């Protein structure tokens, strides 16, 4: 699958026309017996990762996964998923990275949109067994190859035989499809090419000063862009360090891993950073190895930034990342004031940033407007989404939808979303996604979902619900019904308020501000 034209970036320092297969082989040769990745049951060297991902190509082919096709991959933080990911990269087969928390409704939408012909998921994760969902998917898409896996899938004894001869995958082919936070209901698919994603991981690794001695903890699901490539496991492997995978992303597991694995750097969303900090206050952990904490995915409040620096006694990197590409962050030597108040500078000097007003004109320095960007690793269109053209300017800039300004020192300060979106501990939810689910319940007449501030999650969802004449449900019944529909847990409203009459604006539209006041005054 052909990705965006990268030829124009041939001369950018650090950019290489290389695909993952070749890079993984290079890592295997250069870093050999060093430990590449550790999970909660095993560890693997760079050489083994190279070999296993080659052998897996054969196994995946025999299991029915085709070269140059699309696979929906619901992965957990296990080494075998990284091995499979690398085997797919070698095959030119494009994985769509999906969180383990997703349920049938979301998976079916993604399969339809991508026309994927395979689905790979764990057998079980966090008490949930994926078999029922697999059967449902198979019923809806009978030709689909469905693989439920655990460590046996990459078992070495079963993989004796010829090593693969891979198809010729090019540097500008699409390597991976990431899911966007989205601004219009369903998530959009972000096609990242081999060379742009490698460049992304490499530049983020340089910004975080990763090296062979680095131990990076992937605290969040590796289906997210940050723990995958900002710098994530890919940036860590680029630098020859060791990536440790946290399986449950829980504060106690994260703190134990930092202590036990002598972790030097990790990436957290602000909410998780706060929870880890609270745990640190009540329990003793030796976190003396930790040099850097990156926070990203959502706005880091200045007070929390200061608390993190004080309590963890390490350098904080304030990062702004998008799965669409652009990553910015403060640098390790930046003054505290920059770290607390800004998201620093783009990781690549080739990133062209502009702040524009609603007419598309650049605003004066220091004034706020929409942040737009063009560069090596930022997409110029979504996959199979012609209607999303409004997210790009005519000259190929990606419109982030974030309000930002550039400071005197050239740092970027992100102020918030231009349009309504709920950023629930880094998980992006469009109010319309929750509204759609609620409106499918036959008892409900009308619904409006808004974001409200929450001291722990940053934001949470609040649904205002109006019932049809003579119908009624209580809050638990609503949540249970949504759960039964197979909606991912974080899209179930955190708060539900019943409404008999909607407050209206002068022109007769539902007055969202007055609705929000109702819950914030309480
Ligand atoms: P995603 O597509 O999930 O990678 O989300 C990207 C979006 O997350 C950005 O467009 C921002 O709205 C938000 N975001 C990420 N990092 C930050 C940050 N440090 N401060 C504020 N918003 C952020």
Query: How do residues 409-441 score in pLDDT, each as one tens digit?
Result: 999 999 888 877 788 999 888 787 788 889 889
Window from 115-129, 358-372, 409-423 with minimum mean pLDDT: 409-423
Ligand 1 centroid distance, CA of 306 (Å):
20
Q: Give DSSP secondary structure letters for 124-145.
A: EETTEE-HHHHHHHHHHSTT-E
Over residues 244-261, mean pLDDT: 98
Dist. CA 105–CA 507, nearest whole Å = 36
Q: What pLDDT does 434 receive?
A: 86
Half-sphere exposure of 81 (CA within 13 A, CB side): 29
Which are the contacts of 22, defined by CB distance < 8 A and separation ≥ 6?
none
Evaluate if residue 335 carries a pLDDT over 90: yes
Window from 79-88, 147-156, 207-216, 405-414 with minimum mean pLDDT: 147-156
Hey, what CATH class is 421-521 in? alpha beta
List the alpha helices (DSSP H) in 3-42: 20-31
437-462: string of b/e by CB count within 10 Å (b at 16+)? bbeebeebeebbbbbbebeebbbbbb
Dist. CA 379–CA 397, nearest whole Å = 9
Atom 9, ligand 1: residue with shortest CA distance: 322
Ligand 1 centroid distance, CA of 300 (Å):
10
> CB neighbours (10 Å) of residue 4?
21
Evaluate if residue 491 carries a pLDDT over 70: yes
DSSP 8-state secondary structure symbol assigned to residue 388:
G
Q: What pLDDT does 183 receive?
A: 45
Torsion over CA: 60, 227, 414, 373 (sign): negative
Ligand 1 centroid distance, CA of 423 (Å):
8
Per cent of the chain over pLDDT 70 is: 95
Over residues 248-262, mean pLDDT: 98
CA-nearest of 127, 125, 123, 128 to 148 is 123
Evaluate if residue 311 carries a pLDDT over 50: yes
Q: What pLDDT does 212 receive?
A: 98
Does a cis peptide bond (omega within 30 degrees of 0) precede residue 242?
A: no
Q: What pLDDT does 166 receive?
A: 58
Tokens at 301, concatenated = 């409040």
3-state secondary structure of 178: strand
Measured in whole angstroms, the distance separating CA 352 from the mean position of its chain's CA atoms is 23
> pLDDT tens across 53-68, in order?
999 999 999 999 999 9
DSSP 8-state secondary structure symbol assigned to residue 4:
-
The band of 49, judged by pLDDT with boundaries at 50, 70 and 90, is: very high
Q: How wide is the angle at C-alpha 333 spanned by C-alphas 330 and 335, nearest 5°?
A: 75
Over residues 330-337, mean pLDDT: 98
Strand-strand pairing, 215-218 and 265-268: parallel
* Strand partners for 192: 176
The band of 397, judged by pLDDT with boundaries at 50, 70 and 90, is: very high
pTM across the whole model: 0.88
Dist. CA 373–CA 396, nearest whole Å = 9
3-state secondary structure of 21: helix
Dist. CA 209–CA 488, nearest whole Å = 36
Pocket of ligand 1 (CB under 6 A): 180-181, 225, 296-300, 319-323, 343, 400, 402, 414, 417, 428
Ligand 1 centroid distance, CA of 428 (Å):
8
Dist. CA 406–CA 409, nearest whole Å = 8
Nearest atom in ligand 1 to the alpha carbon of residue 226 is: 4
Ligand 1 centroid distance, CA of 105 (Å):
25
> CB neighbours (10 Å) of residue 308?
24
> pLDDT tens across 149-207, in order?
999 998 766 555 555 555 689 999 999 999 987 544 567 999 999 999 999 999 999 99
Higher-confidence residue of 359 and 326: namely 326
Average model confidence (pLDDT) across the chain: 92
Pick left, alpha or beta for residue 185 (phi over 0 → left; psi -120 to 50 → alpha; otherwise beta): left
> CB neighbours (10 Å) of residue 242?
25
3-state secondary structure of 382: coil
Q: What pLDDT does 358 receive?
A: 83
């Amino acid at each position: 699958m052909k990705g965006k034209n990268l030829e124009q970036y041939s001369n950018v320092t650090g950019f290489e026309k290389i695909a993952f297969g070749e890079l993984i082989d290079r890592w295997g040769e250069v870093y050999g017996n060093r430990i590449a990745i550790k999970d909660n049951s095993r560890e693997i060297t760079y050489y083994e990762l190279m070999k296993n991902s080659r052998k897996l190509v054969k196994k995946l082919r025999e299991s029915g996964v085709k070269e140059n096709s699309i696979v929906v991959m619901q992965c957990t933080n296990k080494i075998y998923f990284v091995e499979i990911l690398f085997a797919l990269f070698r095959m030119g087969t494009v994985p769509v990275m999906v969180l383990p928390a997703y349920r049938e409704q979301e998976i079916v939408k993604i399969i339809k949109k991508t026309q994927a012909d395979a689905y790979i998921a764990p057998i079980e994760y966090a008490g949930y067994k994926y078999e029922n969902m697999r059967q449902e998917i198979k019923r809806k898409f009978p030709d689909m190859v469905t693989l439920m896996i655990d460590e046996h899938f990459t078992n070495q004894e079963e993989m004796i035989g010829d090593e693969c001869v891979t198809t010729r995958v090019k540097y500008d082919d699409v390597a991976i499809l990431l899911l966007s936070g989205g601004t219009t209901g369903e998530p959009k698919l972000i096609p990242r090419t081999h060379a742009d994603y490698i460049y992304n991981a490499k530049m983020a690794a340089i910004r975080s000063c990763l090296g062979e001695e680095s131990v990076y903890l992937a605290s969040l699901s590796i289906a997210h862009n940050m723990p995958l490539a900002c710098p994530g496991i890919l940036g860590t492997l680029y630098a020859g360090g060791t990536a440790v995978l946290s399986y449950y992303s829980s504060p106690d597991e994260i703190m134990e891993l930092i202590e036990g694995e002598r972790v030097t750097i990790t990436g957290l969303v602000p909410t998780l950073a706060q929870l880890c900090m609270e745990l640190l206050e009540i329990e003793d952990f030796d976190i003396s190895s930790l040099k850097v904490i990156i926070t990203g995915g959502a706005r880091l409040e200045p007070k929390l930034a200061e608390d993190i620096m004080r309590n963890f006694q390490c350098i904080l990197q304030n990062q702004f990342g998008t799965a669409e590409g652009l990553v910015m962050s403060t640098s390790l030597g930046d003054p505290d004031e920059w770290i607390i108040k800004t998201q620093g500078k783009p990781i690549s000097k080739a990133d062209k940033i502009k702040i524009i007003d609603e007419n598309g004109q650049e605003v004066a320095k220091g004034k706020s407007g929409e942040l737009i960007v063009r560069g090596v690793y930022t997409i110029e269109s979504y996959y199979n989404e012609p209607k999303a053209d409004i997210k790009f300017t005519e000259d190929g800039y990606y419109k982030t939808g974030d309000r930002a300004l550039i400071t005197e020192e050239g740092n970027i300060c992100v102020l918030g979303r231009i349009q309504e979106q709920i950023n629930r501990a880094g998980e992006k939810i469009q109010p319309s996604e929750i509204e759609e689910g609620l409106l499918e319940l036959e008892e409900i007449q009308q619904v409006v979902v808004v974001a409200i501030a929450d001291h722990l999650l940053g934001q949470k969802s609040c649904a205002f619900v109006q019932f049809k004449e003579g119908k009624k449900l209580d809050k638990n019944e609503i949540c249970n019904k949504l759960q039964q529909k197979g909606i991912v847990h974080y899209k179930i409203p955190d708060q539900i308020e019943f409404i008999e009459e909607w407050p209206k604006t002068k022109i007769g539209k539902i007055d969202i501000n007055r609705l929000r006041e109702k819950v914030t005054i309480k």
